[in-house]
Structure 1
Amino acid sequence: MNFIDSIVNCSKLEKIYLAFNQLTGALPSSIGNLSSELITLSLDNNFIYGTLPYGIGNLVKLEEFYINSNRLTSIVPSELGNLQHLLYLDMSDNYFNGNLPKSIGNLSLLLELTLAENRLEGHISPNLGNCSGLLALDLSVNNLTGPIPAELFQLSSLSMLLNLSHNYLVGPLPQEIEKLKILVALDLSQNDLVGSIPNAITSCTSLGYLNLGANSFQGPIPSSMSVLIGITDLNLSRNNFSGQIPKFLEQLSLSSLDLSFNNLQGEVPLEGVFKNASLISIQGNNGLCGGLPELHLPKCVKVSRSNTGSRPPHVILIVIPICSLLVVAMFLFYLFYWKRRKAQAQPATASYVQPFSRVSYGSILKATNEFSQQNLIGTGASSVVYKGILEPADGMVAIKVLKLGNQGALKSFLMECEALKNIRHRNLVKVITSCSSVDFQGNDFKAIIYEFMPNGNLERWLHPSLEQEVDFEEAPPQRLTLRQRVTIATDVAHAMHYLHQECEVPIIHCDLKPSNILLDSDMVARIGDFGLAKFLPLKPHESTTVGLRGTIGYAPPEYGLGGEMTKEGDIYSFGILLLEMITGKRPTDRIFKDGLNLRGYVTMALPDRLMEIIEPTLLSVIEGANVNHDDEARKWKMLEKSMILLARTGLGCSLESPKDIMNTSKIIQELHHINCLF
Structure 2
Amino acid sequence: MNSPKAIICLASSSRISFLLYSLTIICLTSATVFASSGGNETDYQALLSFKSKITEDPYQILTSWNHSFHFCEWSGISCGKRHKRVTAIELSSKSLRGSLSPHVGNLSFLHYLSLWNNSFQGTIPHELGRLSRLRRLGLHENKFSGVIPQNLSGCSNLEKLWLNKNWLIGSIPKEMSLLSKLTGLVMNDNKLTGGIPPFLGNITSMEMFTATGNPLGGRIPDTLGHWKSLTLFYSGECNLNGSIPPSIFNLSLLVTFSLSANHLTGSLPSDIGNQLPNLEGLQLWGNELTGVLPPSISNCSKLVILEMSENNFSGKLTIDFSKLRDINLIEMSNNNLHGRGEADDLWFIESLKNCTKLVKLEFVNCNLIGVLPVSIGNLSHQLNSLYLRDNQLSGSLPSSIGSLVGLTTLGLGRNRFKGKIPTTIGNLQKLQRLSLTNNKFSGPIPDAIGNLSLLIELYLYSNKLEGHIPSSLGKCKKLDLLNLADNTLSGKLPWQLPKLPSLTVLLNLSQNSLSGSIPTQIKDLKMLCELDLSYNNLTGTITSSLGECISLTKLYLSGNIFQGIIPSSLSSLRGLEVLDISHNNLSGKIPQFLDKWNSLEFLNLSFNDFEGQVPIIGVFANSSLFSVLGNDRLCGGLVTLKLPKCKEKGGKKKRFPFFILVIVIAPTLLIVLCCVYLLCKKKRNSQPSQSSGNERFLKVSYNELLKATDRFSTANLIGEGGISSVYKGIFDSDDDKFVAVKVLHLQNRGAHRSFLAECEAWRNIRHRNLLKIITSCSSVDFQGNDFKALVYEFMSNGSVHDSLHSSANTSKLNLLQRINILKDVATALDYLHNHCQKTIVHGDLKPSNILLDADLVAHVGDFGLARLLGTDLNQNSSTGVKGTIGYAPPEYGIGSEMTSSLSSCMYGKAESNCKKERCMS
| 1:76-225 correspondence to structure 2 within 5 Å | 76-225=421-570
Please give the per-residue CA displacement for 1:279-337, whole angstroms capped at 9, x wherever unaligned: 1111111100000011010000012259xxxxxxxxxxxxxxxxxxxxxxxxx998599
1:303 to 1:181, Cα distance in 2 relative to 1, 3 A: same
1:527 to 741, 744, 751: 741
Query: Aligned partners of 1:119, 1:274: CA distance in 2, in Å?
Result: 39
CA contact (8 A) 2:388 2:412 kept: yes
CA 1:254–1:360 in structure 2 vs 1: closer, same or farther (change >3 Å)?
farther
Distance 1:297 1:6, change over 3 A: same
Pick closer, same or farther for the CA change 1:290–1:57 going to 2, 3 Å.
same
Name the TM-score, length of structure 1 as normaliser.
Answer: 0.54
1:551 is matched with 756
Distance 1:132 1:359 in 2: 74
Structure 1 residue 6: Cα displacement: 1.1
Residue matched to 2:607: 261
Alignment of 1:222-371 (within 5 A): 222-252=567-597, 253-304=599-650
Contact preservation (8 Å) 2:780, 2:786: no
Does the CA contact (< 8 Å) of 1:518 and 1:526 recur in 2? Answer: no
Equivalent in 509, 524, 533 of residue 724 of structure 2: 509
| RMSD over equivalenced CA pairs, Å | 4.5
Q: Deviations over 1:230-281 (max 9, x none)?
A: 0010000011111001110001121111000101000001100100111111
Cα distance, 1:21 vs. partner?
A: 1.7
1:576 pairs with 2:779: yes
Counterpart CA distance in 1 for 2:717 and 2:364 is 29
Relative distance call for 1:65 and 1:525 in structure 2 (3 A) is farther
Measured in 2, the distance between the counterparts of 1:105 and 1:550 equals 50
Amino acid of the structure 2 residue aligned with 1:526? A
Code of the residue aligned with 1:145 in structure 2: it is S
- The structure 1 residue matched to 2:697, chosen from 456, 460, 468, is 460
- Code of the aligned partner of 1:167: N
- Distance in 2, Cα, partners of 1:372 & 1:199: 63
Cα deviation for residue 79 of structure 1 reads 0.3
Is the alpha carbon distance of 1:265 and 1:548 closer, same or farther for their aligned partners in structure 2, counting shifts above 3 Å?
A: closer
1:9 deviates by 0.9
Separation of aligned partners in 2, 1:195 and 1:378 = 56
TM-aligned CA deviation for residue 51 of structure 1? 0.8
Query: Which one-letter code corresponds to 2:475 in the other structure?
Result: N
Shift of 1:226: 0.7
SS for the counterpart of 1:157 is coil
Q: CA deviation at 1:485?
A: 4.7
Q: Considering only CA atoms, is the larger Rg found in Structure 1 or Structure 2?
A: 2
Q: Secondary structure of 2:462's match?
A: coil
User: Residues 168 and 14 of structure 1: is their aligned pair in 2 closer, same or farther, counting only changes over 3 Å?
Assistant: same
Structure with higher RCO (Cα < 8 A, 6+ apart)? 1
SS at match of 1:150: coil
Q: CA deviation at 1:20?
A: 1.7
Letter in structure 2 aligned against 1:288? L
Report the CA distance between 1:369 and its aligned residue.
Answer: 13
The correspondence of residues 345-424 of structure 1 with structure 2, limited to 5 A, is 376=691
In structure 2, C-alpha distance between the alignment counterparts of 1:244 and 1:584, rounded to whole Å: 41
Give the conservation status (yes or no) of the 8 Å contact 1:489–1:578: no
Q: Secondary structure at the match of 1:182?
A: coil
Change (3 A) 1:492 1:133: closer
| Residue 497 of structure 1, CA deviation | 7.4
The alpha carbon displacement at 1:8 in A equals 1.1
Deviation at 1:43, TM superposition (A): 0.3
- Cα–Cα, structure 1 residues 13 and 195, in superposed 2: closer, same or farther, change >3 Å? same
Check 1:334–1:122 CA distance in 2 against 1; reply closer, same or farther (3 A cut). farther
- The answer to whether the 8 Å contact 1:485/1:581 transfers is no
Counterparts of 2:594 and 2:482 in 1: how far apart (Å)? 28
Q: Is the 8 A contact 1:519 1:525 kept in 2?
A: no
> Counterpart of 1:487?
707
Opposite residue 410 of structure 2, the aligned amino acid is F
The whole-number CA distance in structure 2 between the counterparts of 1:526 and 1:62 is 48
Q: How far off is 1:364 after superposition?
A: 12
Distance in 2 (alpha carbons) for counterparts of 1:144 and 1:250: 36
Change (3 A) 1:303 1:549: closer
Matched, 1:11 2:225: no
Q: How many pairs does the alignment contain?
A: 411
CA contact (8 A) 2:781 2:787 kept: no
The answer on 1:70 being equivalent to 2:415 is yes
Change (3 A) 1:107 1:581: closer
Report the secondary structure of 1:284's partner residue. coil
Q: CA deviation at 1:461?
A: 2.5
CA contact (8 A) 1:117 1:142 kept: yes
Match of residue 631 from structure 1: none
Letter in 1 for 2:723: I
CA distance in 2, matches of 1:334, 1:528: 43
Q: Which amino acid aligns with 1:462?
A: K
- Per-residue displacement from partner, 1:90-117 (whole Å, max 9, x unpaired)? 0010000000000000101000000000
Structure 2 Cα separation of the partners of residues 124 and 529 of structure 1: 34
Corresponding residue SS for 2:419: coil
State how far apart, in whole Å, the 1-side matches of 2:449 and 2:503 are: 17
Give 1:2's match in structure 2, choosing from 347, 353, 370: 347
The letter of the residue matching 2:603 is L
The 8 Å contact of residues 2 and 27 in structure 1, kept in 2 or not, is answered as no
Flag the 1:188–1:62 CA change in 2: closer, same or farther, 3 A: same
Counterparts of 1:377 and 1:335, CA distance in 2:
49
Question: Residue 156 of structure 1 aligns to which amino acid in structure 2?
Answer: P
Q: What is the deviation of 1:25?
A: 0.6
**SS of residue paired to 1:8:** helix
Q: Distance between the aligned counterparts of 1:334 and 1:137, measured in 2?
A: 58
Contact 1:147–1:170 (CA under 8 A) maintained in structure 2: yes
1:57 maps onto 2:415 in alignment: no
Q: Distance in 2 between matches of 1:333 and 1:87?
A: 69
Query: CA 1:30–1:580 in 2, change beyond 3 Å: closer, same or farther?
Result: closer
Q: Which has the higher helix share?
A: 1
Shift in alpha-carbon separation, 1:167–1:528, aligned structure 2, 3 A: closer
Counterpart of 1:28 (choices 367, 373, 385) is 373
Alignment of 1:430-445 (within 5 A): none
Gaps of at least 5 residues in structure 1 are 307-331, 341-357, 380-455, 464-479, 555-572, 587-678
Q: Deviations over 1:332-367 (max 9, x none)?
A: 998599x99xxxxxxxxxxxxxxxxx99698999xx
Contact kept, 8 Å, 1:518 with 1:528, in 2: the verdict is no
